[in-house]
Copies of this chain bind each other. A is one copy, B any other.
Amino acid sequence: MANSSNYKLSAATANLKYTELYPYKDSAVNSKEFLQKIVDVLMEFVRSTNDRKEKVLEFHHPEEMKKILDLKIPEQGLSLQSLIDDCATTLKYQVKTGHPHFFNQLSCGLDIISMAGEWLTATANTNMFTYEIAPVFILMENVVMTHMREIIGSNWKNGDSILAPGGSISNLYAFLAARHKMFPNYKEKGIATIQGQLVMYTSDQSHYSVKSCSSVCGLGTDNCLMVPSDIHGRMIPAELERLILDRKGKGHIPFFVACTSGTTVLGSFDPINEIADICQKYGMWLHVDAAWGGGLLLSKKYRHPRLTGIERADSVTWNPHKLMGTLLQCSTIHFKENGLLMSCNQMAADYLFMQDKLYDVEFDTGDKVIQCGRHNDIFKLWLQWRAKGDEGFEKHMDKLMELSEYMVKRIKEQPEKFYLILEPEMVNVSFWYIPSRLRNVAHSAAREAELGKICPILKGRMMQSGTLMVGYQPDDRRPNFFRNIISSAAVTEKDVDFLLSELDKLGNDL
């Protein structure tokens, strides 16, 4: 890229090409100097991410950004110095998702230990399909997955788990296993041969990946029923039962319920025990999508009542890359029953997963996934858990929840400026910001509509000032509103105070 750099390689190295590095050259000298300079660039990004005086982002519109950056693929390779400059420029314009004033996504923060783990993962550059080429990582996966299952429930120890590239694919695994368990012949014969239309259920607040399963897997989205939720955003069990009976009456086959523990927008928790009773009554698979809320399993104080009953599920999605702050991506799917992943997904690829190896091939995982090769997503989580211990993760969860409670308190103390939409169960705080002109207006649908219109404008100002990022969205009950997330260990009470005062500074004239 065009920008000049603060990171200068030595004159002897700057104009060299990649062919002077490993593995093209035997000597470590140039490789070391190059990598060390990259590390300097990264260290400065880490520093500035943690510096509250630095901006969260330097916003440019896509067309402007294209002019600022030189992104083209050259015919001839560039010099090592140009590559260093490329890295520095890339980070200059990247949003600092670990900045204490970034409240925009479910995944916020930059955990240094997990980051170090990911640097190692990159350097080890291996695939997760066999013990043969990832011995330590495969064993780590076993240890951490067993630990997570034990946290879900004491009856889960002998189940099975796998890491997947994101919660959506984890939910897909659950769907596939459920279908396979109930209709083992579909794998060869196809679902067209199942006598009756399969139907799945999830709440109208669930993540869209659940509905996506119904499309991907051939049920059709008309057969993924969105069960109404109550004012807190929790699935209404009586509505679930009504919709099950309705489809049964049509001769359909309800077989799968995806319950959400921590909805994307409101952070609500479906009542697992009541839903489990219904699943039991009708012989349906219960999946708990705790991609978001799963982290609270680690807190004695906040686990109940939110996740009470989770041990009754058949499968659980839980994303460490969300509340636990593990680097992206780290998603896990757990099954109470062992063996299902293998029998469901195995394609008997003997040419890849041979049975006559030197070692116990029970440790190979390639044949039980739909991915074949998998990125190593375990090391960054394992190292982080070694650093924090169970105790450290519990403290982290409690702190995030306490900060969210603090934010709610601060919002309630300023009713003229902020309107709290509901008492949160989690770190999602849903609210409207009220500009000066609407402060003395009685709350009504008309005022909500006005407050909703302000959200994108205020968000635009945040991005252009670069001082803050908070997400907004509409839902099925209200126009746009802000959803603030505290999932970063960087956030303090002062940052929450800053967030509220900065919103007011940027938005009071709207």
Contact = CB atoms under 8 A, between A and B. Distances in A.
6 contacts: A23-B112, A35-B116, A60-B135, A122-B327, A188-B220, A191-B218
Contact of A459 (B63, B190, B358): B358
A200 B411 CA distance: 57
B327 A125 contact: yes
A80 to B, nearest CB: 8
A72 interface: yes
Contact of A113 (B18, B351, B475): B18
Interface in A345-387: 345, 347-352, 354, 356-360, 363, 370-376, 379, 382-383, 385-387
A264 B43 contact: no
| Protomer copies | 2
A43 B34 CA distance: 11
B125 A98 contact: yes
Query: Which A-B residue pairs are the 7 nearest by beta carbons?
Result: A190-B220, A218-B218, A23-B490, A118-B122, A165-B165, A358-B460, A191-B218
A31 interface: yes
Interface residues of A, number: 168
A390 interface: yes
A216 B38 contact: no
Contacts of A126: 94-95, 97, 328
A371 B134 contact: no
Contact of A123 (B115, B135, B354): B115
Nearest to A356: B456
A354 to B, nearest CB: 6
A192 interface: yes
A134 B87 contact: no
Interface string A269-306: 00000000000000000000000000000000000000
A500 interface: no
Interface in A54-102: 59-63, 65-66, 69, 71-78, 82-83, 86-87, 90-91, 93-95, 97-98, 100
A95 to B, nearest CB: 5
A208 interface: yes
A498 interface: no
Contact of A147 (B73, B82, B388, B490): B73
A154 interface: no
Contacts of A7: none
